[in-house]
Structure 1
Amino acid sequence: DVVIVQQPKSVCVPQNYPVTLSVQAVGTGPLRYQWFDGQQIEVPCATESRLQVSLKKSESYICRVSDQYCNCIFSIWVRVKVLNLPVPPGWRGEPYIIAQPTPQQSVRHGDTITLKCLAFGMPSPQYQWYHNGHLLPKKNNEILEIKSAKADHVGSYLCSVSNVLEERWSEAADIALTDKVALLIGNLNYTHHPRLMAPIMDVHELASLLQQLGFRVVSLLDLTLQEMEAAIDKFLQLLDRGVYMFYYAGHGYEHLGRNYLVAIDAPRPYRTINCVCVQRVMCNMQERRAQLNVILLDTCRKYKQSGPTSEINPLAPLGNTVYGYATEDAEAFEVQDGGKSTGIFTKYLNKYILQPQKVTHILEQVSEDLGKDQLVSGKQVVEIKHTLKEPRALTDPVGTAGHTMELHLRDACWRQANLPGRKLLDFPCGVQVELSFSALFSNILLVFGMVRNSGTMVQDCTVDLHSEPVMEDIFSGPGRSDEMHSLLLSKADNPDCSLRLCCLQRLERSLVIKVELHYTHRDRKLRLTECREVDIGRPLIASCRFSNRGPADRRQEAMQHTVGHKSNTRQSSHLPAHHAR
């Protein structure tokens, strides 16, 4: 028998580089050799144990070894990989890396990570990838591909390149997940102060536009002070090195150079301790050293007391913060625009926000348009401040470097905001009812019921939906416009019934949807009712358990001041169809 004792070795070399492939075999009597190329065609004059080639393009080879008794055996296939790149003088076949992995990459959640390391070598080098110093099993090719990127994949990657002569290491490649997060809060149903209309549409439309820009958006309506502070704390947990926006629409004011946002449960008159301090939020955002922080406030700023003027105090050397206030020492107005209520600042903001321009330029355009609006000309002037060291846009790609526990925490918080999947309920009478769900806001869930199969013995089916516990419907109060109801129903295709579940942040236990099916039995001609229940857990923002949060800390300085009755409310404008924020 013929036995090969040394197989040929694959190589990776430059164009026209001389290569010798060799095979060693043992057997009875003299042995004969014949080399074949990748098309299994005999290589002319290649009848020795050694094959010398000098190639312009890559090729594969195999060698047949036979004896005088017609016994034969084939070697393994080997590859002569040829690249049109040079090697340094005096190169002797040790690994020489010619293509390093991209030093920094930013990918979105769920995207594919691709890293490449390529090296010359005789024999061809072996590759082994490492992640944060740990060997990656079965990741031993030139190209490392990881599908469905998530937080566990963030960090530093290295590739070991080796052959029998030497081992070399690639340069490090840092993988980061892009991060664009926005927290939008709109307060409208105040207990002790005038109610508002515009925050509903303002928050809804801005959320939709930000999602088009790749933001992960948390949009919340009607928050108490405790809920506002809990939402802001959760938002701050999501911050790292990306782009972040905090937006508020509702009542607000300025006192002693500081700006305050009024919660829906603020008393009358209220003190600063009953409100959220904008400067505190801004300071916490800046501490995260993000690529860009954007703070936009569509709220009044009247009744400023004596004291220093409001200003941004950036953390040296980087602030990277843009601050847009709907007004300077004045009221912010709501306006009826095409049958819907909107804050006039947010109206023009939404007009420009998708444009690939730096944020400060967008706000300047908003200010110009607002100044030209005859309804508020001279009554509302936008204030713009920033601490940017270089131009930044909401459309810019963002990324972070390194592998941090904070990233895991951010992802864990984000995964909590879950939307229930479709449910198909079978009733004893043979009817099937499908429940579907849609998030109008992060704390408002729409439930739709649709009869999918009416069965053979029933007719005139109707469906009613209820919840346990019963959740408040903030849209059912007087003065809500028809266009608001059309917005709520636009999320489903002609459902048989719907249910709005608002203020989910106050949910203290699992939410149960009760489905009542009313129908007439064809034979008995009786009107009957059957019920089913389905537990959907803690949907959307309810999973963050705001209600379990203890009272927030207050700054001692905030406890010393009381703001008079007039500073509590937005003032009604003398302009028709306008209301001050």
Structure 2
Amino acid sequence: MQKAVAITEQPVSVSVPVGYSFTLRCRAQGRTSLQYQWFCLPPRLWQGEPVIVLNPSEQWVEVGQPLQLQCAAIGVPAPSYQWYRNGNLLEQQKRKKLWITHTKVSDSGTYLCCASNSHGEHWTNAVDVHIGTCGSGRFFATDKIALLVGNNCYQHHPNLMAPVRDVFELSRLLEHLGFQVVSLLDLNKAEMATAVSRFLQLLGKGVYAIFYYAGHGYEHLGRNYMVPVDAPQPYAPENCISVQRILQKMQQQQTALNIILLDTCRKWYEPLPPSSPGLDVPRAGGRSEDAEAYELQDGEFSSGIFMKYLKKHILQEKKVTHMLEDVLEDIGRDPLVAGKQVMEIKHTLKEARSLTDPICPSRAATEHWGYSQKLPSKTMTFPCGVRVELHFLRLFSNLMFVCAKPQLPLAHITDPQLLLRQLTPEITKESM
């Protein structure tokens, strides 16, 4: 009887200098169409010990649905398999394929498989399995983290008006979507670097991350820079914050979705370099070709043009790139922008991820990012007998408003006036 597959041409050993290319060839015959898979074994002499050729992949599964993980190894003799969850041996899982017919929440964890024979053992990569009730959608985040920076009051450049309102409005919208948000105003270079560093530390596998900047910016040699409030004239890279550097570090965190929104007009025009392969980064921003940076608002106290249309679409349940394309179309139709600013989107997002995707934590809760403490209120009694209620309101993460309300005045006091000059050390300590 003819074999199902017969090798008709074997590869031949070759020796080439380092850096040179080579070609290996094999051919086979079979009853049906064939598929080929090459394997590269370790350079030392192989003794038959297991070599992993297929690692399991991360899985998200609804409660009650089946779970399948698969691994494969080659070895002589043929390896045996043993699966582990969170370091604990699974007695009934001793095959290449791990199969659980009806999953439970307790089946969540980190899985890996050991392939062994008489010559040794090798382990697959560890993968996370998430079992939850995150709805029937295919995608979800393990967490949602956002950093918003708006620079308005510059020491050496024209002041802006829109960033303060834009940051405030975007922070409220992102909180509605489940993001932990830190919103900061008027940062110098050191403060911007510290905020970005803290933001990057909290990113991790499966996280949806958003970085938003509104303020002055410029482009130099294909790189985009954000301008801190203390940057001197003229613009120079050493006095500013590189967007590409933030992008690169976000990429290293294994996040599920990275979004950088640059709501800024860049002073010099050069095409943006393409995003790194596999990195899901929509980037949006305004620019004016061969023109000075300027600010466009639809009214003196309104949002900037970009935010005007972003807040119209951001809560919609659709792929994030499609949402941004809707924003782009609306901006293109706005008469205030036509011929003056052009929004651009750069992305490599292939999956249909949306900002409305649910959150299913895969590990212990991360350190809180955002408002971690409730602000106090305080009633003060002055020597004259007047009582004043003090209330504290945090509209931004680094800016606190103090409201003072006098209680009913005493009979012997007429025309009372309240002037809030400076917080006392006692109140300042309590409000931290």
> TM-score if structure 1 supplies the norm length?
0.48
- The equivalent residue for 1:439 is 394
Cα distance in 2 between the residues matched to 1:246 and 1:343: 17
Instruction: Count residues with an aligned counterpart.
Output: 312
Match for 1:288 among 253, 256, 264?
253
Match of 1:424 in 2: 379
SS class of match (1:282)? helix
1:359 aligned partner, one-letter code: V
Amino acid at match of 1:200: V
Show CA shifts across 1:438-471 (max 9, x none). 1121111001111235456544433222225xxx
Larger Rg: 1
Report deviation, 1:385.
Answer: 1.2
| 2:53 equivalent in structure 1 | none
Using the TM superposition, give the Cα deviation of residue 535 of structure 1 relative to its aligned residue in structure 2, in angstroms: 3.3
1:366 aligns with 2:321: no
Contact 1:256 / 1:304 at 8 angstroms: preserved in 2? no
Q: Which residue of 1 aligns with 2:181?
A: 217
Give runs of aligned pairs for residues 324-339 of structure 1, distance below 5 A. Answer: 324-327=284-287, 329=289, 333-339=294-300
Structure 2 contact 376–430 (Cα < 8 Å) conserved: no
Hey, what's the Cα distance between the residues in 2 that align with 1:215 and 1:374? 33
Instruction: Please point out which of 371, 385, 403 is paired with 1:448.
Output: 403
Structure-2 residue corresponding to 1:349: 310
Instruction: Pick closer, same or farther for the CA change 1:245–1:363 going to 2, 3 Å.
Output: same
2-structure distance, mates of 1:394, 1:383: 19
* Residue deviations 1:456-511 (CA, integer Å, cap 9, x gap): 6544433222225xxxxxxxxxxxxxxxxxxxxxxxxxxxxxxxxxxxxxxxxxxx
> 1:525-536 to 2 correspondence within 5 Å?
534-536=427-429
Superposed CA offset, 1:358-381 (max 9, x none): 111111111111111222213221
- Structure 2 residue 214 is matched with structure 1 residue 249: yes
Residues in 2 aligned to 1:239 and 1:290: alpha-carbon distance in whole angstroms? 7
- The separation in 1 between residues aligned to 2:86 and 2:418, in whole angstroms, is 55
Q: Could you tell me which amino acid in structure 1 is paired with residue 394 of structure 2?
A: A
Check conservation: 2:60, 2:130, Cα contact below 8 A.
yes
Match of 1:303 in 2: 268
**Counterpart for residue 546 of structure 1:** none
Q: Cα gap change, 1:133/1:465 in structure 2, threshold over 3 Å: closer, same or farther?
A: farther
Q: In structure 2, give the amino acid aligned to 1:179.
A: D
* Counterpart residue type for residue 192 of structure 2: M
- 1:181 is matched with which residue? 145
* 1:323 equivalenced with 2:283 (yes/no): yes
Q: State the 1:227 CA deviation.
A: 0.7
Partners of 1:275 and 1:313 in 2: CA distance:
22
Q: Identify which of 271, 276, 280 aligns with 1:313.
A: 276
What is the match of residue 203 of structure 2?
A: 239
Give 5+ residue unaligned stretches, structure 1.
1-102, 107-114, 117-130, 135-143, 146-154, 158-171, 469-511, 514-532, 540-581
**In 2: Cα distance, 1:328 partner to 1:190 partner:** 20
Q: Structure 1: how far apart are the matches of 2:318 and 2:286?
A: 20
Q: Which runs of 5+ in 2 are unaligned?
A: 1-58, 65-84, 89-103, 111-128, 133-139
Structure 2: how far apart are the matches of 1:435 and 1:360?
45
Match in the other structure for 1:64: none
Whole-Å Cα distance in 2 between the matches of residues 288 and 174 of structure 1?
22
Seen in structure 2, the aligned counterparts of structure 1 residues 381 and 414 have a Cα distance that, compared at 3 Å, is closer
Offset, 1:302: 3.0
The 10-residue stretch of structure 1 (218-227 or 340-349) with the greater mean CA deviation from structure 2: 340-349
For residues 329 and 245 of structure 1, what CA distance do their matches in structure 2 show?
26
Q: Aligned-pair distance for 1:348?
A: 1.5
Whether the aligned pair in 1 keeps the contact of 2:141 and 2:357 (CA below 8 Å) is: no
Alignment match, 2:243: 278
Q: Is contact 1:242–1:399 with CA below 8 Å preserved after alignment?
A: no
Question: 2-side partners of 1:309 and 1:203: how far apart?
Answer: 24
CA contact (8 A) 2:321 2:349 kept: no
- Sort the Cα spacing of 1:104 and 1:467 in 2 relative to 1 into closer, same or farther, 3 A: farther
Deviations 1:9-32 (A, max 9, x none): xxxxxxxxxxxxxxxxxxxxxxxx
Corresponding residue for residue 475 of structure 1: none
What one-letter code is carried by the residue in structure 1 that aligns with 2:427?
Answer: V
Cα distance between partner residues in 1 of 2:379 and 2:272: 59
Q: For 1:173 and 1:255, how far apart are their aligned partners in 2?
A: 44
Distance of 1:421 and 1:458 partners within structure 2: 28
Q: Is the 8 A contact 1:183 1:245 kept in 2?
A: yes
Cα offset, 1:537, TM superposition: 4.8
Matched, 1:383 2:347: no
What percentage of residue pairs aligned between the two structures are identical? 47
Deviations 1:503-536 (A, max 9, x none): xxxxxxxxx36xxxxxxxxxxxxxxxxxxx5233
Contact 2:269 2:290 in 1 (8 A): no
Letter in 2 for 1:282: L
Alignment-mate amino acid for residue 281 of structure 2: T
- Give 3-state SS (helix, strand or coil) of 2:419's partner: strand
Shift in CA distance, 256/396, structure 1 to aligned 2, threshold 3 Å:
same
The answer to whether the Cα contact below 8 Å between 2:141 and 2:207 also exists between their aligned partners in 1 is: no
| Distance change >3 Å, CA 462–CA 266, structure 1 → 2 | same
Determine if contact 2:182/2:370 at 8 Å carries over to the other structure.
no
Deviation at 1:104, TM superposition (A): 6.5
Deviation at 1:226, TM superposition (A): 0.6
Amino acid of the residue matched to residue 437 of structure 1?
A: F
Could you give the per-residue CA deviations for residues 342-394 of structure 1, whole angstroms, max 9, x where no partner exists?
32122211221111121111111111111112222132211111121311111
TM-score (normalizing by structure 2): 0.64
Equivalent AA in structure 2 for residue 534 of structure 1:
I
Q: Distance in 2 between matches of 1:231 and 1:536?
A: 23
